[in-house]
C-alpha cells in the first residue's frame, strides 16, 4: 500500500497507515480488510479528522470477492490490471476470476482474463471487439522463387476493401447482412491485429502436431482479427440502452429479454468475425498465388486447410458441477477446444499449445498472446527517440525483426506501438501456464502484415 501511495499519489515519504476509524494499521487489523476497504496514508503525521466506520455511507456490508487466480509467477503484471482483476471479482454473480500472464489494464476491466459468472452476463467483460480471435491455416507449397521482397510487393493491396460480395458471402454462411459494417469484411484492422506467414521452428509433440494437420515442410498463416466496427457498435448500443455505466458494469439476468437480445447480437458478431478471418486468409493467399480474391471459399479450400479457429473475446455457457455458468473471455483463448496458438510479438515465436488435465481452475482458458508491457503512448515515446538516435533514423529500423522476419506496416506510429519491445516475453507467458497446457510446436514469423 505504501508503494502504491508513493507511485500513484506522489507521496515521497509515505510511512503510516490508518483505518477509517482512526486506528493505526497493524498486522492483526490488516486481516480484517476486504476488497474495497479504504486505507488512509500519511507521511508520518498522526491521524487527523473524523473517524468513520468502513461502511458508514451505505450501511451495506462489503461484498466477499470471488476466488482470484493470477497465473504470472514469471511475468510482469501491471498494478492497475491487478486492481481491475480484483475489483471484477467483487461483481454480483462472479464466482471465479482468472488473470493470465498477458493481463493488462483495460478501460474499466482487464484484458487477458476470464470470469466465471452465475445467472447473468456482463457485456463489458467481453469487450467491444466481440468474436475477435485467431485462425491458423496450413498453406500450399510456395514456389522456390517466393522471396520475401516479392511477397511484400504482392501484399501491398491487402488492407483495401475486399472486391468480393460481402452480402453474398455472409448469406452463404447463414449470417444476416449489416450494411453499416459489411464494407469492412475481409480487412484486418489496426491495433494488435495481424496476418502472419510462419514456418515451423521446432516440434515438441509429433503426434499432436500431426493430428492437428500441420506439416514441417509447409508454411502456415496465422490471422488475428475480429468483428471490426460491428462488435464495437453492439457494445456501445447495449450500454447506451442500459443508461449510465454503473460502478459494477451493466449486466443482464439469465433468461431476461435484455440478455436474449444481447446474446443474439453477440453470436452474430462472433459468426461475422469468423467469416472475416476466412476472407482475410483468402485475400492473403490469392495475392501470394496470383488468384482472384473474389472467388470465395471454394478457391481457398482447394489450396489451404484451416486447422484452428477460436474466439478470445466472447461469452458462452458451460455446465460445471450441475450448474450453468457463463464463461466470459476478454482476451483469453479457450482451453476446451484443443490446440490453440499463443503468439508473441511480431518479433517473437508463436507457441501452439495443447490443454491437458482439468481446466476449471483456470476458467477453461489460456493466454491469447504475450500481452503489452508498455502502453502505446509509452512505446511510441521511447521507440521514436530510439529511432532518431539510430543512424538510419527511419521506420526501417522496425521493419526487420531479430528473428529475421519482415514487417509490413504503413502506419509509422502503429509500427512503433506494436514493436517487440512493447510486449512481454512470450517464453515466460508460456512457462506460467505449463500446469494447464503443454507445448506442441513453435512457429517462427517470416512476414507479418499489419494495417
Say how far residue 224 (Cα) sits from the centre of its chain: 10
What is the C-alpha to C-alpha distance for residues 223 and 450, in angstroms, rounded to an integer? 11
Contacts with 46 (C-beta within 8 Å, 6 or more apart), sequence order: none
Burial of 190 (0-12, 13-18, 19+ CB in 10 A): middle
Q: Measuring CA to CA, how many Å separate 41 from each of 2, 9, 138?
A: 8, 10, 57
Cα separation, 124 vs 132, in Å, equals: 14
Closest CA to 195 of 134, 286, 129: 134
Burial class (CB within 10 angstroms; exposed 0-12, middle 13-18, buried 19+) of 349: buried
Q: State the DSSP code for 248.
A: T
Residues 343, 442: Cα–Cα separation, whole Å: 10
Q: What residue has cell string 453499416?
A: 180
- All cell numbers assigned to 86: 480484483
Query: How far, in Å, are 139, 241, 316, 384, 388 from residue 376 at the CA level?
Result: 33, 31, 31, 12, 18
**Which residues are catalytically annotated?**
368
Amino acid at each position: 500500500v505504501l508503494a502504491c501511495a508513493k507511485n500513484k499519489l506522489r507521496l515521497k515519504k509515505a510511512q503510516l497507515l490508518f483505518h477509517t476509524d482512526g486506528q493505526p494499521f497493524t498486522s492483526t487489523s490488516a486481516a480484517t480488510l476486504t476488497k474495497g476497504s479504504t486505507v488512509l496514508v500519511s507521511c508520518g503525521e498522526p491521524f487527523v479528522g473524523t473517524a468513520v466506520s468502513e461502511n458508514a455511507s451505505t450501511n451495506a456490508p462489503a461484498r466477499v470477492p470471488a476466488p482470484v487466480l493470477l497465473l504470472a509467477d514469471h511475468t510482469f503484471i501491471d498494478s492497475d490490471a491487478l486492481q481491475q482483476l480484483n475489483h471484477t471479482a467483487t461483481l454480483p454473480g462472479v464466482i471465479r476470476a482468472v488473470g493470465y500472464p498477458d493481463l493488462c489494464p483495460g478501460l474499466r476491466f482487464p484484458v487477458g482474463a476470464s470470469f466465471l459468472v452465475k445467472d447473468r452476463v456482463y457485456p463489458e467483460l467481453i469487450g467491444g471487439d466481440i468474436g475477435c480471435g485467431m485462425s491458423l491455416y496450413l498453406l500450399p507449397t510456395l514456389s522456390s522463387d517466393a522471396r520475401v521482397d516479392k511477397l511484400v510487393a504482392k501484399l501491398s493491396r491487402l488492407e483495401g476493401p475486399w472486391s468480393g460480395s460481402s452480402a453474398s458471402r455472409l448469406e452463404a454462411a447463414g449470417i444476416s447482412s449489416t450494411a453499416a459494417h459489411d464494407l469492412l469484411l475481409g480487412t484486418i484492422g489496426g491495433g494488435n491485429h495481424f496476418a502472419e506467414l510462419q514456418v515451423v521452428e521446432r516440434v515438441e509433440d509429433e503426434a499432436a502436431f500431426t493430428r492437428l494437420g500441420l506439416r514441417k515442410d509447409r508454411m502456415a498463416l496465422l490471422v488475428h482479427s475480429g468483428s471490426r466496427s460491428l462488435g464495437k457498435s453492439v457494445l456501445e448500443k447495449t450500454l447506451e440502452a442500459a443508461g449510465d455505466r454503473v460502478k459494477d458494469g451493466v449486466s443482464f439476468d439469465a433468461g431476461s429479454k435484455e440478455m436474449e437480445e444481447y446474446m443474439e447480437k453477440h453470436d452474430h458478431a462472433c459468426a461475422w468475425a469468423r467469416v472475416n478471418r476466412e476472407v482475410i486468409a483468402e485475400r492473403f493467399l490469392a495475392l501470394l498465388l496470383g488468384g482472384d480474391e473474389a472467388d470465395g471459399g471454394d478457391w481457398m479450400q482447394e489450396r489451404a486447410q484451416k486447422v484452428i479457429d477460436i474466439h478470445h473475446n466472447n461469452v458462452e455457457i458451460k455446465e460445471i458441477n450441475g450448474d450453468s455458468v457463463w464463461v466470459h473471455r476478454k482476451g483469453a483463448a479457450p482451453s476446451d477446444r484443443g490446440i490453440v496458438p499463443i503468439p508473441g510479438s511480431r518479433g517473437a515465436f508463436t507457441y501452439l499449445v495443447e490443454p491437458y488435465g482439468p481446466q476449471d481452475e483456470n476458467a477453461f482458458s489460456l493466454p491469447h498472446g504475450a500481452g503489452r508491457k508498455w502502453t502505446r503512448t509509452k512505446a511510441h515515446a521511447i521507440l521514436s527517440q530510439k529511432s532518431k538516435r539510430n543512424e538510419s533514423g527511419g521506420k526501417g529500423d522496425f521493419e526487420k525483426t531479430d528473428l529475421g522476419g519482415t514487417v509490413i506496416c504503413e502506419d509509422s506510429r502503429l509500427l512503433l506501438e506494436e514493436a517487440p519491445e512493447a510486449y512481454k516475453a512470450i517464453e515466460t507467458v508460456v512457462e506460467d501456464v505449463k500446469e494447464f497446457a503443454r507445448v506442441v510446436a513453435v512457429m517462427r514469423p517470416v512476414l507479418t502484415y499489419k494495417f
